[in-house]
Amino acid sequence: MSLCTLEINLAAIKANYRLLKNICETATIGAAVKANSYGLGATEISKALLLENCRHFFVASSEEGVNLRKAIGNKVDILVLNGVFEYDALELIEYNLIPVLNNLKQIEIWQKFSNLKQKILPGYLHFNTGINRIGLNHNEIEQLINNRDLLQGLDLQYIISHLAASEDHNNPYNLEQLNKFKAYLQYFPNVKASLANSGGIFLGQDYHFDLARPGAALYGLNPLGKVKSNPMQNPVTLKASIIHLQSLTPNSHIGYNMTFVTKRNSLIATLPFGYADGFSRGFSNQGKVFINGYNAPIVGRVSMDFINIDVTDLPPADIFLGQEVEIIGNNCTPDKIASIINTIGYEILTSLGNRYKRVYT
């Protein structure tokens, strides 16, 4: 039996999906399930979203796409955000995966295999409107506008782009990207479009187009940034059991490099997880965990397999070997604990290791 349990509430994820669907009204809602659904389990979550009639699933790589196709069958579209390469083009065709084409070279590769297989191949185009990571740049887009033969042999299903600051509603860059996207789309009047990520859904109907692609919001992360309350449900609970208790006198050192020294008689509990389980070393001597609603501070360095917490002030009846401790949950959501170490909830979720017992409720 595992001493650490990661619970994922599928009902909460489905409720988040329905909320986003209601906001978008007329747009189709897909789901970003890349990086194993942000660390929470792409297979289980995709199957749950299928019950909500989700039919567009976005993964990062062909490997993720193949695994998902094997798990959830052939009745959905699986989109590969990294696009297509020479080494995996045949695999994309075999497993009916749709590449998001990010540059002219990828378009050329997909055309090559269209000719090889003597069949029209589906694809999405990704236009870079300002995030400047991947995507067709302005010069490449102009080439497509002026020479449609560059798209011969392809079934162009959607044109997509990605917002750089969607969680910041007052950022004028959102409107700048929207206008640039609209300017490009007028040259492709019969192609569907997709711009909104989680935050983009909350920017208003102008950003919704035909398909929205939420990720973070499905998993309970705040799509509205730090300044507004989170409308999404938290589906994640991480618990660990107390495996050791010790009473320490004042001036006792705790953990590697003696970074914490007790100032009083203290009761210290040890929990069986650490940075090997995705709990950052940055939480050393900062952050809290919860036992029956009471908080206990983390003391000493987070090590590979252990953290220590000070339970001196908690009710004695609540402190015993085997007692469950909430590490992530409604008291300490991924967003909240991320702020402690100056990161984002995405990193907290995607860092979760594989040693937990996973329970889907």
Domains of the chain plus CATH, in order, are 10-219 (3.20.20.10), 236-360 (2.40.37.10)
Residue 230's nearest CA partner among 16, 6, 7 is 16
What length does the chain have?
A: 361
The one catalytic residue in 21, 34, 239, 336 is 34
The one catalytic residue in 119, 228, 256, 357 is 256
Q: pTM above 0.85?
A: yes
34 as an active site residue: the answer is: yes
Instruction: Give how far Cα 63 sits from Cα of 78, 83, 94, 101, 113, Å.
Output: 12, 12, 12, 17, 19
356 as an active site residue: the answer is: no
Query: Would residue 73 be called left, alpha or beta, if left means φ above 0 and alpha means ψ between -120 and 50 degrees?
Result: left
The phi, psi pair for 70, rounded to 5°, reads -65, -30
pLDDT tens string for the chain (361 positions)?
578 999 999 999 999 999 999 999 999 999 999 999 999 999 999 999 999 999 999 999 999 999 999 999 999 999 999 999 999 999 999 999 999 999 999 999 999 999 999 999 999 999 999 999 999 999 999 999 999 999 999 999 999 999 999 999 999 999 999 999 999 999 999 999 999 999 999 999 999 999 999 999 999 999 998 778 999 999 999 999 999 999 999 999 999 999 999 999 999 999 999 999 999 999 999 999 999 999 999 999 999 999 999 999 999 999 999 999 999 999 999 999 999 999 999 999 999 988 999 999 9
